[in-house]
Chains A and B, each alone.
Chain A
Amino acid sequence: MKTRVLRWTVLSGFAAFVLWYAFGYGDRSFENLCPFGGVASLYGLATGGEFTCSLGPANLSLLIGIVVLALIAKRAFCGWVCPLGFIGELIYRLREKVTRKRVKTIPPRLNAWLKPLRYIVLVLVLYFTWQTGDLIFRGYDPFYAIFSGMGHGTLGWITWSILAIFLIGSWFVPMFFCRYFCPLAATLDPFSRLGLIKVSRNAETCIDCNKCHKVCPHDLHPEKVDVLRHHDCTNCMECIDACPIAKCMTLKAKV
């Protein structure tokens, strides 16, 4: 069985879980299922011992869970859990089906220039959230806009524009939002860099077909290294699935 089938099953399960809460069947708001809420709450908890706005214990405990997960399995949360990443992935896979060709990667230099944007987003979101004690970035968050059904706190045409950028960007660039704008990805980066389980390549059996690079949703280069330590790796295992040589690409525990 291809790993993607298993991964999409897991992703669908978590997306259904969030939808269940978004439709009001859970014991709390779906916002409490976002681990980034844990980051947004840290200042309020440290200074006043109180959670920010509608955030609560689940945001913080999920953050702890995914940080530990990142230390073991890199950004597996992004590749195996995040519903927004899943929507983005479905969009660019749809484009592959419609155009019948692989999504072309954006120029590497432009990609490298754009990636630090997510650190700027992280700093801005945290600064203004901690200053105001309110989730004022709700209206700019595609996750909130989609799962709240453009609910309370969205900003009309501004939110619609951000949703349009998210959808169009995901059509042209795989994992568009995750790469350039996701503050949670930026938060997890330092922990992911230390992640224990990594994709490894056996250079002796590798035939340099480049298939592993072509399928990588984050444009990483597993074909150039023996151990893929890059913080963007989500352990999605698309590269392992694409490799035509048995046991050339594997998962290994490497410090």
Chain B
Amino acid sequence: MTIPRWVIPVLVVVFMFGGYGLRLAFTQPTTNVVFAEQTASGEMAKIEATVQGVKCKGTAGFFTKMYNETPGIYTIKTYASEHKAVFTYDPSVTSPDDIKAVMEKKLTFGDGSKRQIFTCLEMVEK
């Protein structure tokens, strides 16, 4: 069966944009850190933050380490390609403002300078 020439570019455009659209079907994170197992009694809230600075597995790992000492955080999932982090937390212990304050904390570097690594661009309750 003879195929018209225009079929190839049409297929290319359909499969490229179709493939790009299919990304919504894959929701695996870059990192998935569980700080404390969820308990039946604990009240849970979820918040999604768009974070400037989370751009690869290394920065995502550093980002989640900043919450090692923060009470009330259960899990943090990071999505480096979308620069996002999803927190599950206990709202009676911590709040979105506390979470934002931790990520935007200035850190002291080896040369004594203090710098902010991450900036919260947006927070959405899920």
Contact B23 A73 (CB under 8 A): no
B residues less than 8 Å from A61 (CB atoms): 19-23, 25-26
Contact A65 B22 (CB under 8 A): yes
Mask, A64-99, CB within 8 Å of B = 1, is: 111011001100110011000000000000000000
B5: which of A14, A63, A65, A237 is its contact (CB, 8 Å)? A237
Interface residue tally on A, bucketed by range: 35 or more
Contact B3 A253 (CB under 8 A): yes
Contact B82 A56 (CB under 8 A): yes
- 8 Å CB contacts to A: which residues of B1-23? 1-9, 11-13, 15-16, 18-23
- The answer to the question of B100 belonging to the interface, with a C-beta cut-off of 8 Å to chain A, is no
In the assembled complex, how far is the CB of residue A110 from the closest CB belonging to chain B, in whole angstroms? 30
Contact B26 A57 (CB under 8 A): yes
Residues of B within 8 A of A (CB-CB), count: 38
In the assembled complex, how far is the CB of residue A49 from the closest CB belonging to chain B, in whole angstroms? 6
Contact B11 A76 (CB under 8 A): yes
Docked pose: A60 CA to B28 CA in angstroms: 11
A56: which of B5, B6, B81 is its contact (CB, 8 Å)? B81
Contact B16 A32 (CB under 8 A): no
Specify the main secondary structure of chain A where it touches its partner: helix
Contact A251 B57 (CB under 8 A): no
Docked pose: A45 CA to B26 CA in angstroms: 11
Contact B15 A68 (CB under 8 A): yes
Docked pose: A54 CA to B25 CA in angstroms: 18
Contact A251 B15 (CB under 8 A): no
Specify the main secondary structure of chain B where it touches its partner: helix
Docked pose: A55 CA to B55 CA in angstroms: 9
- The number of inter-chain residue pairs (CB within 8 angstroms) is 134
- The answer to the question of A250 belonging to the interface, with a C-beta cut-off of 8 Å to chain B, is yes
| A65 and B8 in contact, given A50-B32, A252-B2 (Cβ under 8 angstroms) | no
Docked pose: A128 CA to B29 CA in angstroms: 21
B residues less than 8 Å from A186 (CB atoms): none
- The answer to the question of A146 belonging to the interface, with a C-beta cut-off of 8 Å to chain B, is no
Docked pose: A77 CA to B79 CA in angstroms: 27
A residues less than 8 Å from B56 (CB atoms): 53-54
Contact A64 B19 (CB under 8 A): yes
- 8 Å CB contacts to A: which residues of B53-109? 55-58, 79-83
- The answer to the question of A169 belonging to the interface, with a C-beta cut-off of 8 Å to chain B, is no
Contact A57 B28 (CB under 8 A): yes
Please name the residue on chain A nearest to B11 by beta carbon: A73
Most buried by B among A53, A76, A237, A252: A53
Apart from A53-B57, A56-B23, list 7 A-B contacts with CB within 8 A: A10-B12, A54-B56, A57-B23, A60-B26, A72-B15, A235-B8, A250-B2
12 A-B residue pairings within 8 Å (CB atoms) = A29-B81, A50-B28, A51-B57, A51-B80, A53-B58, A55-B80, A57-B24, A57-B81, A61-B22, A63-B19, A65-B22, A66-B19
